[in-house]
Chains A and B, each alone.
Chain A
Amino acid sequence: MQSDQIIIKAFQAGVQKELQFTELVKRHQQKLYYQIKRMVIEHADADDIAQTVWIKVWEKLDGFKLESEFSTWLFRIGYNETINFIQKKKKIPFVSTEEEESNPLKQNTDTHELQPAQIQIKLDQAIKQLPEKQRFVFMLRYYEEMAYEKIAEIMQTSVGGAKANFHQALKKMQEFIQID
């Protein structure tokens, strides 16, 4: 299997550009899509953002200098587009009043006594109440098991900054459980 670098070099040399691009999409589409969806939850939104990201990749790949991994560069575009999307549409997912009223958590607040379904709802809410940056770091760290160095590169921040975001996310989620 060819490395991403070889595929990108072939693309940049103009050798069967569409074929090279399709190969890159096939390799990385799932991880990118899931990371976006963890942020926006809805499939339609995640699909829109993913399409925008890949179109940008096509437009900018000729100028990509191969100084970082392709996946890091891809996730950075994904991160920027996701944050733009959330800020533009103010589409921070929320639980409607109706849902809250029928929410089993309202009847039972101690997590140790919660049923699995209730814990699930609690987790969803805890994740949704996190600020975007913290949510992004939390998802990459927990679900992708990504190193802080790579997370920092994607978010163009320091390793310390990425770590701080993750720990703040953890703290907020614990507090959310205790307060609710």
Chain B
Amino acid sequence: MQEEKDIIENVFTKASIKSFEEQINTVPENYFNQFPAQILSKIQQKKKPSLIIQLGKFSIAAAFLLIVAGSYFLATIKSTKENTSIAIHEIPTEEIDSYVSNNEWMIDAEMQSEINKLGLNLEENKQSKDSID
């Protein structure tokens, strides 16, 4: 080590090497006293995400929730529809019969109105045929 130092000091002199080191050692006042606190505050700042990042994260979370909720809603509607059509097929015949007998008067009324309509049509047809003749 000393041999290496001697070579360097022979070339440049001890004084100039010392002077270079003095130039390097010159720092602003209190620099080293303030440095640890300065670093810690930078680390704290890095830990806290900025408002934009926070909002960004929030909006991503909201969009995700919306997609999940929407998909669930659509799936529920679809399954309800499927359940309904299955239910019709599965209604027992006795139940249909009882529904019909209970609502017979309605069916009669519907049939009567259909007959009336047909009668009117027939009469109109007859009249038009007579006028042609």
Contacts and interface: CB of A to CB of B under 8 A. Distances in A.
Interface in A136-180: 141-143, 145, 166, 170, 173-174, 177
B21 A143 contact: yes
A120 interface: yes
Interface of A, helix, strand, loop or mixed by DSSP: helix
Which of the four size classes fits the interface of chain B? 20 to 34
Interface string A1-37: 0000000000000000010011001100110011001
Interface string A105-147: 0000001000010011011101100000000000001110100
Contact of B40 (A18, A122, A141, A174): A18
A119 B7 contact: no
Given A55-B42, A120-B20, A142-B8, A25 B35 contact: yes
Interface of A: 18, 21-22, 25-26, 29-30, 33-34, 37-38, 41, 43, 47, 50-51, 54-55, 58, 111, 116, 119-120, 122-124, 126-127, 141-143, 145, 166, 170, 173-174, 177
